């Protein structure tokens, strides 16, 4: 209990004192990660030397879209996480279809990963046409439109748990006693600091 308290003290001191230039996130090795625990242990199963594909990154949502296969056999691969050029992307199974894979950018990597997903859903918009003489509606109908929303998520690669990034969930995952609503930017900074401070302590020597 005493050790846990000291770790929490170190966490909050580090959050307050960590210089801006040293707050860069943890960057896993480049490659293809097929399972959650592979990212947790930073051990990609497939390297970029062994695979290739056709892909691009969307300008608006920053999603990576593409398909990938092994160079030697041409076998299609479906990585859970792709890391390249200092950035990592997590497979979005909802947006992925049979022809292309969609990957949401990971804003933070480490014991707790952070990503933002986009969801589209249909809505009904009522439409009325009014009689210009008496002002009464004579046609009432609705049309379908699609709207989108964004959700900021947390992901624990070791347990493969996903949760909305809220102050309450942040406190539960990091052990913080913070309960008042925190800004999104502060939540991300807190997770970045948590990942850096606890990375060495939590880093396993080998996979179980």
- Mind listing the pLDDT tens digit for each residue in 91-120? 997 877 768 999 999 999 999 999 998 766
The pLDDT, as a whole number, for residue 208 is 46
% the chain with pLDDT above 70:
75
Q: Tens of pLDDT along 37-80?
A: 999 999 999 999 999 999 999 888 889 999 999 999 999 999 99
Sign of CA dihedral 189, 195, 197, 198: positive
The pLDDT, as a whole number, for residue 18 is 36
Task: Compute, in degrees rounded to 10, the torsion defined by CA atoms 104, 106, 107, 110.
Answer: 160
- The position carrying tokens 């004579």 is 138
Q: 199 vs 5, which has greater pLDDT?
A: 199
Residue 207 has pLDDT above 50, yes or no: no
The pLDDT, as a whole number, for residue 59 is 85
CB atoms within 10 A of CB 27: 14
- In sequence order, the 6+-apart residues with CB closer than 8 A to the CB of 203 are none
- The position carrying tokens 């990963």 is 113
Residue 9 has pLDDT above 80, yes or no: no
The pLDDT, as a whole number, for residue 22 is 33
CB atoms within 10 A of CB 179: 9
Give the whole-angstrom CA distance, residue 78 versus residue 91: 9
Among 85-89, 119-123, 170-174, where is mean pLDDT lowest? 119-123
Residue 192 has pLDDT above 80, yes or no: yes
Burial tier of 53 (Cβ tally within 10 Å: 0-12, 13-18, 19+): middle
The pLDDT, as a whole number, for residue 186 is 92
Average pLDDT, rounded, for the chain? 80
* Count of all residues that appear for the chain in the document: 208
Residue 133 has pLDDT above 60, yes or no: yes
The pLDDT, as a whole number, for residue 17 is 36
**Contact (CB, 8 A) for 129 and 138:** yes
Beta bridge partners of 128: 140
Residue 158 has pLDDT above 60, yes or no: yes
- The model's confidence at residue 199, banded by pLDDT at 50, 70 and 90, is low
The pLDDT, as a whole number, for residue 94 is 80
């Amino acid at each position: 209990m005493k050790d846990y308290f000291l770790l929490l003290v170190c966490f909050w001191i580090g959050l307050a004192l960590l210089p801006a230039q040293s707050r860069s996130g943890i960057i896993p090795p480049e490659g293809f990660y097929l399972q959650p625990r592979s990212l947790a242990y930073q051990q990609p199963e497939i390297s970029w030397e062994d695979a290739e594909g056709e892909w691009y990154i969307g300008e608006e949502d920053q999603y990576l879209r593409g398909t990938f296969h092994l160079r030697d056999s041409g076998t299609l691969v479906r990585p859970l996480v792709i890391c390249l050029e200092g950035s990592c992307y997590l497979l979005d199974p909802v947006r992925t279809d049979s022809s292309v894979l969609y990957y949401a950018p990971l804003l933070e990597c480490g014991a707790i990963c952070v990503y933002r997903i986009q969801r589209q859903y249909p809505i009904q918009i009522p439409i009325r046409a009014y009689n210009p003489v008496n002002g009464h509606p004579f046609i009432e109908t609705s049309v379908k439109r699609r709207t989108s929303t964004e959700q900021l998520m947390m992901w624990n690669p070791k347990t493969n748990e996903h949760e909305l990034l809220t102050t309450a969930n942040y406190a539960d995952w990091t052990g913080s006693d913070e309960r008042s609503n925190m800004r999104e930017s502060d939540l991300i900074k807190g997770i970045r600091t948590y990942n850096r401070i606890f990375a060495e302590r939590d880093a396993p020597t080998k996979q179980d």
